Amino acid sequence: MSNKKYIIGNWKNHPDSLAEAEGILDSISEYLDSRRNFIHSLVVCPPFVFLEEIDKIFQSSSLGKKAQLGAQDIALSDSGAWTGEVSGHMLKRLGVRYVIVGHSERRWKLGETDDVVNKKIKTALANEFAPIVCVGERERYESYKDFLKQQLADTFAGLSDNEKGKCLVAYEPVWAISSNPGAKADTPESALESIAIIKEALGNVPVLYGGSVNSSNVESFISQDQIAGVLVGGASVNKEEFVKILSLV
């Protein structure tokens, strides 16, 4: 594939140990060392507890020249007392370059509102991170396009065109997330309809697809000119599967 795309691995709360995390990175590094023409932007987003050690691996190996480090979330603000949160200042010291904001699991399972996501985007931008802003409807009902338009308006409220342009947007229809029972990926044709709405609302921002991405369907999404990459969830911690995904882009 000649066009540069974003391949973002969201490890969620996996794996269970640093040794397993290192095993995933070893497989990725071995594959990338064997493929000289890999032009895509690879971002690895591990759990907070592994960020420091993975940053050290990136700094001391060739992997650091081929992949960048992302975090799965960020605190609402860098000031104030926020028990259990991790500030942008902390993440910056750990070599983080990207931050996932508003993932559907945080929106729908943990109750994050559009306003909370909006504040987190602003905090991420203040720390010079590239926010990976997740949006998408919970169910595919008749008026889902209206829902998506309102979600975009509220999530990006108060942001300038320049600030919006520093974001990546990941369209992840919640019903397609692999952790949900019976979930299956959206079709490229359907996803493109939603991506058109996103671009109409935000301008020419890079829009990725997320939702049950795996080696069986990644080519069908990433071959679309309007899809700037993929946000890979569960498949990104299966080292054989993730390397296969990388081999197909």
- How far apart CA 238 and CA 226 sit, in angstroms, is 27
Catalytic status, residue 103: yes
Which one from 139, 172, 193, 240 is the annotated catalytic residue? Answer: 172
Which one from 14, 85, 103, 219 is the annotated catalytic residue? Answer: 103
172-205 per-residue burial string, b: 16 or more CB within 10 A, e: under 16: bbbbbbbebeeeebbebeebbebbebbeebbeeb
Phi, psi of 153 (to 5 degrees): -60, -45
Assess contact for 196 and 218: CB atoms under 8 A: no
Catalytic status, residue 14: no
- How far apart CA 183 and CA 212 sit, in angstroms, is 8
Assess contact for 112 and 132: CB atoms under 8 A: no
Q: Which of 215, 174, 157 is nearest to 7 (CA)?
A: 215
Active site residues per annotation: 103, 172
